[in-house]
Amino acid sequence: MKYVIEFSKTGRCAYISHLDLARALLRALRMTGLRPAYSQGFNPHPKMSIALPLSLGQSSVCELIEIEIGEGQTGANAANALNDRLPDGIRVLSVREKPAAYPKPLASYVKAAEYEILCDGIFDANERLAAFFECKQVLIQKTSKKTGQTVEKDIRPDMLSYTVKKELKGWLLCRVTLRAEGGAVLSPRTFFDAFVRNCHSRTDCHSGADCHSREGGNLYVPSITRTAILGDGGAVLSGTPR
């Protein structure tokens, strides 16, 4: 039987790596008496996968993990038992059977994700963010981890939408929807670094000129929280979109 566990990852647990998070969840499952099914072969591994792994240092209120439970077991009513055994900052929101409408791995249905970004030092946020989304291109320099080569990439097609939730003098609180399917997964930090560099650029985006930025800028360290994982047509797979 396959189950979907929805959970949040906040506070200090935002700095738990993807692999350590998987280990923590696996150990908590075993402590509740639930045993995941294992793959066959020389090096068996538990049949569990996170739909859209989160970058280190980012929080989320809508994480999804898919897990197959061994025969003769049931994951119903397991949320409370898991929460009793997980560290503070990781909280299981629901445990449910995987819907029949999603026969393939959940990761294959993910198309986009929504993030809430909070940062200070951004004045005239509405105008600046509107101008940024009006750019025809947003070019970044990206270095391949495999080859070490630096290539230019346009992230504008991966910037889907935004709203400014609150604006105070020098503060920006916004929600952005970014593409997250296949090889086109735009990191919210990459998006934000490009936005900040655009704010410091002399380029006039209102004129339709291209915007140029460099990936990995460290001008600001924003607070980033994933609030929703979206599928085809904006269907909500997890979380609460704006």
219 and 103, same domain (yes or no) = no
- For position 220, what pLDDT does the model report? 61
Q: Which of 108, 124, 139 is the last residue of a domain?
A: 108
Which pairs from 138-146 meet CB under 8 Å and 24+ separation?
Answer: 138/194, 138/198, 138/211, 138/213, 139/210, 139/211, 139/212, 139/213, 140/190, 140/193, 140/194, 140/213, 140/214, 140/215, 141/214, 141/215, 142/215, 143/215
Residue with tokens 């929460």: 83
Residues spanned by the domain of 214: 110-239
In the chain, the number of structural domains is 2
Q: What is the average per-residue pLDDT within 164-177?
A: 86
Same domain, 98 and 124: no
Q: 84 and 159 in one domain?
A: no
pLDDT reported for residue 69: 85
Same domain flag for 228 and 114: yes
Question: Do 118 and 102 share a domain, yes or no?
Answer: no
- Residues 117 and 233 grouped into a single domain: yes
- The confidence score (pLDDT) of residue 211 equals 44
Looking at residue 205, its pLDDT comes to 43
Q: Are residues 123 and 234 in the same domain?
A: yes
Quick one: 129 and 85 in the same domain?
Answer: no
pTM for this predicted structure = 0.87
On whether the CB atoms of residues 194 and 140 are closer than 8 A, the answer is yes
- Show which of 108, 126, 160 is a domain's final residue: 108
Spatial strand order of the sheet with 150-154 comes to 150-154, 138-143, 211-212
Residue that wins the pLDDT comparison between 10 and 119? 10
